[in-house]
Structure 1
Amino acid sequence: MTSAPAGRPRRTLALWCPDWPAVAAAADADISPDEPVAVISANRVVTCSATARAAGVRRGMRKRESQARCPSLHVMTADPGRDGRLFEPLVAAVAEVIPIVEVLRPGLMLLPAAGAARYFGGEEVAAEKLIDVVSVCGTESFTGIADELFTAVVAARHGQIVPAGGDVDFLAPLSIAELGAEPSLCGDDRDHLIDLLWRLGVRTMGAFAALSVTDVATRFGADAVVAHRATRAEAGRSASGRLPSTDVVIDHECDPPIDRVDAAAFVGRRLADELHRALMAASVACTRLTVHASTTGGQHSSRTWRCAEPLTPEATADRIRWQLDGWLSGKDSGNRPDSPISRLRLEPVELVDSGALQFGFRGAGIPGGDGEVADRARRALVRVQGLLGGEAVRVPVRSGGRGVAERITLIPLGDELTPASDPDAPWPGRIPEPAPAVVLSAPVTVRDCNDDPVQVTRRGMFSAEPTTVTWGSRSWDLLWWAGPWPADERWWAAPGEQVGTHARAQVLLNDSRALLLRYQQQGWTVEGVYE
């Protein structure tokens, strides 16, 4: 066994489970691993199984096209929580062999190669042993070992062990597209960078590494500098050198003890916010976090999570939920805790100075806000949520539907922002743009010139020409109206079932306000106000 030369970083072993979101989705739905599976997000394939790829399904393909190429395709919605929950038993199995495990994302874990090599008698033997451990869990995996983290992840995708000091030579002939192969190590603009480099004639990582640091820094963005350092096998990210102090270690006694996943997720969100308030007060950010959980019976679960970018409160809460969800609801009853969780401890393992944080123009916590303003607003909402409960504070998510109210899904703050229906689906008959500025549901009365109520006939027409709208105690004259537009939303109703006429119309009041009206069950409501 060769050892890393002096001055080089410690060797890293990466264990990669290919197509993990598809594997997890199939396992959760009790689908055979041999069946074609595709995981969809925003109506496009984000991950597919090897069987689906053999049938012509590819990442980025639209859902309809993928189903046309593979009629037997099982289409599943992306669910990061499911991926993390089902990955936890694999991490626990690997931790039984090598205790120090860092999860980069569900489907990819990192381990120190030196200790494993000493214990098993070589890097190759250690890699084979880990593959056997994961295969017992019914999952295919590949390992890669290299000096640097990025190189180890790429090597895992090729199933290779890179000799010590050989990272640059290993990466040089690989396609520049490998820079974006692992999303957890990429910035948001990595695809744009790869496309630009390809059009400039930089087709391999060796060609990119040959460019000078000055040229890359002045011509491209910050993510390009990180990618350039990775291709040159330089340290992609280093710790600040600070040791975690007691001020930034969150230790929580659960009273009463926690035995449900939803309760654990709620406590995890609160602890994540408390941790990040302490980190902000110390002017540091966390890139590696260890989550410890203990039960009243003395059992323990400990997992270290690593991120390419400093952890946000939402990312921290997600990782706590994934770990506890996988532990509390694991399929293997032998790995489940036999008693409720009595203690949670969040311990930052690696800290960086706050100067390492790169905020965008818009905050990630609250849509539409600046970073600092959004963060303060999010902390205030979390405090309200802690007082009133998890369901009391909700944020809107763009959803699918025909009416304006149906195109908004309210999700509890901190949960996965998953819409109730696909917003990119066709939705024939939906209200055209622009959408109303205000969405509400208030009863109104529409009358004709004879002061008789106006209804919508079975033919989808007004029973009389509308002239006034009464909303509350006030009435307005109509200057203009359009519609009605029937909404045939229950065409599947059985013969004889009472469905009723359902339609929408737009009206302009004499005070210059425009309303979107909805007719259902022989009555009118204001569904939206245009401003």
Structure 2
Amino acid sequence: MVEGGVSAVMDAPVRSLVLWFPDWPVTALTRASASEPPRRGRVRAPAPPPEVQTLDPALPIAVVEGNAVVACSAAARAEGVRRGQRRRDAQSRCPGLRIIPADIARDHRAFAPVIAHIEEKAPGVQLVRPGLCALRARGPARYYGGESEAARMLIAELREIGFGDVRAGIADGPFTAEQAARAGAVRSDPVFVVPSGGAAGFLAPLSVAVLEEAALGAPESRRPASDDLVGLLARLGVQTLGDFAAMPPDRVRERFGGRGIRLHALAGGRDSQPVQPRTPPPELQRDVAFEPPLEIADQVAFGMRVVADDFIAGLGAIDLVCTELRVELVGDRGERSERVWLHPASFDAAAVVDRVRWQLGEDTESLRSGVTLVRITPEAVDAASHHRPAIFGSAPEEKVHHALSRVQAMLGHRAVVTPAVGGGRWLTERQVLVPWGDRAVVAKERARPWPGSLPDPLPTTVFAEPPTVEVLTLGGYAVEVDDRGAVTAVPAVLVEGGRVRRIEVWAGPWPVVERGWDPARARRAHRFQVVDDDGGAWLLVCDRGSWTIEGSYD
């Protein structure tokens, strides 16, 4: 028999086991972003960053996105904070609430090692979203002696690595199993099993609001506001899943289309969507532990040689190259240094070792004791085919890169630099020297307001040491700028290096006021643009009656 266009055979749900981690965004926030469960043959991850260490899970914390609470801690919930509340309503209920912006990347990053740990005990895990995963119940149940036994074993394993509140639901289909974990399981009894064939009866009293995430296929923090299918059901008087499941399928299709038929099947316990196990990603990162700790950079670099070769070979085995490298160093006292290194082309083993040595030499403030752990991770990769040498020799750019990289390897990271345009009010401040291979991260600096900065077009010549000049009137008197920012006389003559030029056109003054709160470093100057009788254009600065040339328009 065909119902809703889907055969009964295809509608047959598969027994599924769902693990739910309540308030996962808060859990991910309070754990180390790079931490992972201890596994055989692996080194325990370094301590969390200082800004994360200060967040105690017992504090009232709310994760907010779109001015609404998407997750909150138990302490915040005890004060009346609830998911879905507006930010100001949550703060009115709990004045001491810590507001943290949502970060889906942080949630995924913290949940990835948890998935890997579950896969060691029960392969075939599907990542539904951070904090929620599903498995086919048949395999673990046969291996561990039953569905409930398998779920309790996984929960016990997760508790050993620090996850004290994990709920499990077992039912026909992932959707019903998720609702069993959310609505049936409690902290004292974290496993709830819906008997085979009992999905419809279990779902019937639940609110239609639980269909919202299934309708959108995304977690609550990514819901588009335009989707109001669930709200329409509520306005039509359909308040529970049982009410929705009792509606004739033909009427549902007429009103809601194919998506409505899908939700109608879910409400009736007919979840035909199977668990889709993920393909575990290859282990690309490499860890090196030193016992006893090493305090000399050359010793650490020497110990990284074999690991760096293995790291590059591992990427090459799947036809990838590393273009951005994350290096994490952990000291004997728990201090940590972390940095992402860039490369103009792609990293080889020697370049990886150089970055570790350079980071040890530059970040002496963060590491005050011997190094106990070095972790290298590919932050960005690219297809190896894009970085293969040309058939008829290398391009000139590649030769330049090879030469500069060799000089840099011999003299140090900051021995070879390239200029870039940054932000600032004065032209000499806008030149930024960037080590060869690093990307000039100056976009944010240039985007600042910088009141008093010079708009385009900028002078083509900027003087590192601005020459001193005189600006005079036709009668030979000095021109200055008074306290109100107005010139004391009309500029008519420019005297530079003994040469006298007549000023034909001038504009200004434009004030540049800096550090007015600091009397020792305060500065108030004025810019002028002038054109002399030879057609030369100059950018002049008058600072307390003293005139200099900041640049020229060639």
- Give the TM-score normalised by the residue count of structure 1: 0.47
- Give the TM-score normalised by the residue count of structure 2: 0.46
